[in-house]
Structure 1
Amino acid sequence: MNAMDSASPPTAMPVPTDALKEGVYESRDEIRKILRQSLQLTAEQGGRELFWLDSDFSEWPLSDEALLEALHRWALPHRRLHLLAMDYEALRRAHPRFVEWRRLHDHVIIAKSFDPADLDRSQPSPSGVLLAPGLLVFKQWSPVRASLTLRQAREEATVREWFDAIEQRSTDSFGSSTLGL
């Protein structure tokens, strides 16, 4: 039994799909709330693959106990969480509980580092993305502007293509353990 199994069940209630509203959010508090709800919902109802992109994930609520428990239940062997960040050091410092979850669930994680030059600057690119195909697309454009779309296949396909292009040029990073000499 590991630490995730022995923890008491989180008290947070599941996020109903209708609790999320499509639209543009323009305050830090709204963005934090919608990102937290989106992460929770995708962990509870997400399919085989989840796609997350951020410069370092330090501002994401990845230490949230209810979210980690939902991700623990989601992390079956046939599932994949694709992580793209420029650097994972801030995540390691800000979210040691997520780092532990990552270590326990290495079998579902594909984590890569991307170069900011790989972002297509000819058009606006979000600074953060959460994609759960068949469920939602969350895009953060700035610290005070984000958008959410629900079950829009065209938007999902566009974001997936954009994500895949960056992932293909990225390098493996954020290993489940660090080896030293």
Structure 2
Amino acid sequence: MDSENTDALANDSPEALPDGRFAGREAFGRLVREALACAAREGWREIILSDATFADWPLHERSVVESLHAWSKSGRHLIMLATRYDEVMRNQARFVSWRKTWGHIIDCRLCRVASAADFPSVIWSRSWFMHRLDSQHSLGVCGHDRERSVQLREALDERIRDSVPGFPSSTLGL
């Protein structure tokens, strides 16, 4: 295994999402891809994506947008939480296009009072989470631990309460 592979990625079943620690940008990107593909396969009803800027998330990749498209069905809901969306709008064109089509199931929230350095970098669902504890080095944990998932959701809910709508799916002008 290369230096960016970790115990979280050493999983015999490619269908199952891992439990454990991860390290490195490659491992982080792989987990984002796997989580969104799993969300589409398993039909997760709710997903929260949280990051200060989403600058190093692979949202521009065709496979990620295809997974999101496959996931997008009636009754599904995605919350995105960030301190700013300019990086997404500038560098994640495929995602921006997908967001315009599926804006009715996506709630993009903006937390202006939050420090980017202290902002949670997370994928959360009822069945699995990934929490990047150190964004600079892409170090974190992921798994199915119910107690940790509940604590993470409570922290995200607090951020959501302190946020305002941001990153509209379209801009209206006169």
**What band does the TM-score fall into relative to the shorter chain?**
0.7 to 0.9
Aligned to 1:55: 52
Aligned match of 1:139 in 131, 145, 160?
Answer: 131
1:127 deviates by 3.6
The runs of at least 4 consecutive aligned structure 1 residues that moved more than 3 Å come to: 116-119
What aligned pairs does 1:56-135 form with structure 2 within 5 A after superposition? 56-117=53-114, 127-134=120-127
Q: TM-score scaled to structure 1, two decimals? A: 0.79
Q: 2:142 is matched by which residue type in structure 1?
A: T
Q: SS of 2:114's equivalent?
A: helix
Q: SS of 1:62's equivalent?
A: coil
Aligned match of 1:42 in 39, 63, 84?
Answer: 39
- TM-aligned CA distance change 1:151 to 1:42, over 3 Å: same
- TM-aligned CA distance change 1:79 to 1:102, over 3 Å: same
Q: SS of 2:32's equivalent?
A: helix
Residues 25 and 144 in structure 1, CA contact (< 8 A), matched pair in contact too: no
1:96 deviates by 1.0
Aligned to 1:9: none
> How far does the alpha carbon of each residue in 1:114-167 deviate from its partner, in whole angstroms, 9 at most, with x for none?
134389x9xxx6641000111x11111222243333222212111111111110
What is the CA RMSD across the aligned residues, in angstroms? 2.2
Q: SS of 2:49's equivalent?
A: strand
Residues 84 and 167 in structure 1, CA contact (< 8 A), matched pair in contact too: yes
1:35 deviates by 2.7
* Number of corresponding residues: 160
Q: SS of 2:48's equivalent?
A: strand
Q: Give the fraction of aligned pairs with identical amino acids, expressed as a percent.
A: 28
Structure 2, unmatched stretches of 5+, are: 1-13
Distance 1:102 1:42 in 2: 17
Distance 1:46 1:58 in 2: 26
Aligned to 2:3: none
Structure 1, unmatched stretches of 5+, are: 1-14
Aligned match of 1:148 in 126, 136, 141?
Answer: 141
Distance 1:153 1:46 in 2: 19
1:109 deviates by 0.4
Distance 1:62 1:145 in 2: 16
Q: TM-score scaled to structure 2, two decimals? A: 0.82
